[in-house]
Amino acid sequence: MSVTPSIVAVGAAAIDEWYAVSNLPEADGGAFASEVTSSFGGVGANVAVALDRLGRDVGLVSRVGDDEYGRRAREHLAETGVDASRVTVGDDPSTRSLVLSAPDGERAIVTTGESFRELRLAAADREAIAAADVAFLTGYTPDAVSRRVLSVVESARDPPALVFDLSGPVEELVGRGTEPETVHRLLHRADLFVAGDVAAAAYFGSEAAAVERIAAAQRARGDAADGNGCGGAPDADTGWPRAVLTHGADGMTVVADGDARRFDAFDVDVVDATGAGDAFVAGLIDRWVAGEGEGGTATAENGDLADGVRFAAAVAAINCTERFAQGGLPTREAVERFLSARE
């Protein structure tokens, strides 16, 4: 493990309390849980572990509570190749989630616990982010931390590529995650911006509005690069920045160079869709952003657009064939076998 991982993820490391339910209950409705168990989750940890499984050099900046949940999360990370030296322990209850998983693999998630909400970046965290090739940030990250990561990226002499996953709807994030004003800044600064249907609809209003605003942000950033050549601005030859709107089993929409293109998801027997979006983001980071080889230089042109989406979709699809957010995260070899079988 290098002193500074080439990829640094900022996000929660949580325990998921997993209920296999007969159905996802509607308002005033109910469901029966045939099985209750626990597993490992948290967007930051999910992305970091997925990248580790793909052979990447990755570290996690997070915060857990001094309780059983926090201890289990740290013990789990210690069994992976993720550098968890920047996961701190506080007095607040550990962040954890209740996951209701229906027979068709769809799920509903309720999160509690203050530990990650109280995360603040230490000087060593900021230095690691500035020295990394890639920095990953989730919308569930406290706003003060998201703004500090932005400041680090914008002020770094050789800034890392910035990946931002909106992760959740605005009304869920306000008060505990990244605020709308900061999301706006990230939209215009991130090298890769990702949002699921629910998050995109809540922030942009609709998929069409999302595509329009993202394309406009890309054009504005390209114009700024042409005008002043500032470091960190996109190069016209690389097609950056890029954005992806994910639609679950209905595929994804990629917005690049101001144009939108739709891609299909892979058809698999879904056991549990928990963590599919995080696995997909990890695949995009690996294929589009992280460069050639472990610890390689971040490069936006790494991988054709369609090939990158196909690789990331395969990572997500394979993960859906096993239970839990991290239960089916594949190795690079497993992804390559999956793709070869579908050529």
Residues sharing a CB contact under 8 Å with residue 28, sequence separation 6 or more, in sequence order? none
- Scanning the structure block, which residue is given the tokens 């680090």? 152
Query: In 3D, which of 132, 191, 138, 203 has the Cα closest to residue 166?
Result: 138
| Total Cβ atoms within 10 A of residue 35 | 10
Which residue stretches of the chain have pLDDT < 50? 1, 229-238, 294-302
Q: What is the pLDDT of residue 121?
A: 97
SS3 of residue 332 by DSSP: helix
Q: What is the pLDDT of residues 276-296, one digit of tens each?
A: 999 999 999 999 999 765 434
Q: What is the pLDDT of residue 226?
A: 63
Q: How far apart are CA 153 and CA 173, in angstroms?
A: 22
Q: How far is CA 82 from the centre of its chain?
A: 15
Q: What is the pLDDT of residue 231?
A: 43
Q: Residue 185: what residue type?
A: R
Q: Residue 111: what residue type?
A: T
